Structure 1
Amino acid sequence: MTYLRKARIQDVKAIHALLMHHAAGGLLLPRSLSQLYNHIREFYVVDPDDGGPIKGCCALSIIWDELAEVRSLVVADDMQGLGWGRRLVEACVSEAVTLGLYKVFTLTYQAGFFRKQGFAEVAKDVLPQKVWADCINCPRFPDCDEVAMMIEL
Structure 2
Amino acid sequence: MVVTCRRATEQDVDSLYVIIQGYAEQGIMLPRSKEVLTSQIDTFVVAEDEERLIGCGSLTRLGQDLVEIRSLGVVDGYKGKGIGKAIVNRLVQEAGEQGIPKVMALTYEVSFFEKNGFTVVPKEIFPEKVWRDCIHCKKQHCCDEIAVLKRLD
TM range (shorter): over 0.9
Is 1:108 paired with 2:107? yes
The offset of 1:102, in angstroms, is: 0.4
The one-letter code of the counterpart of 1:4 is: C
Partner of 1:61: 60
Runs of 5+ unmatched residues, structure 2: none
Whole-angstrom distance in 2 between the partners of 1:110 and 1:39: 24
The offset of 1:25, in angstroms, is: 2.0
Runs of 5+ unmatched residues, structure 1: none
Deviations 1:74-129 (A, max 9, x none): 01111111100000000000000000100010000111100111111111110001
The offset of 1:138, in angstroms, is: 1.3
TM-score when normalising by structure 2: 0.94
Deviations 1:19-61 (A, max 9, x none): 11122123322222222112110101012232x3x11000011
Across the aligned residues of Structure 1 and Structure 2, the Cα RMSD in angstroms comes to 1.1
The one-letter code of the counterpart of 1:75 is: V
TM-score when normalising by structure 1: 0.94
Is 1:7 paired with 2:8? yes
Whole-angstrom distance in 1 between the partners of 2:13 and 2:47: 13
Whole-angstrom distance in 1 between the partners of 2:38 and 2:80: 29
Whole-angstrom distance in 2 between the partners of 1:76 and 1:46: 10
Partner of 1:40: 41
Query: Kindly, what percent of the aligned residue pairs are identical?
Result: 38
The one-letter code of the counterpart of 1:14 is: S
The number of residues matched between the two structures is: 151
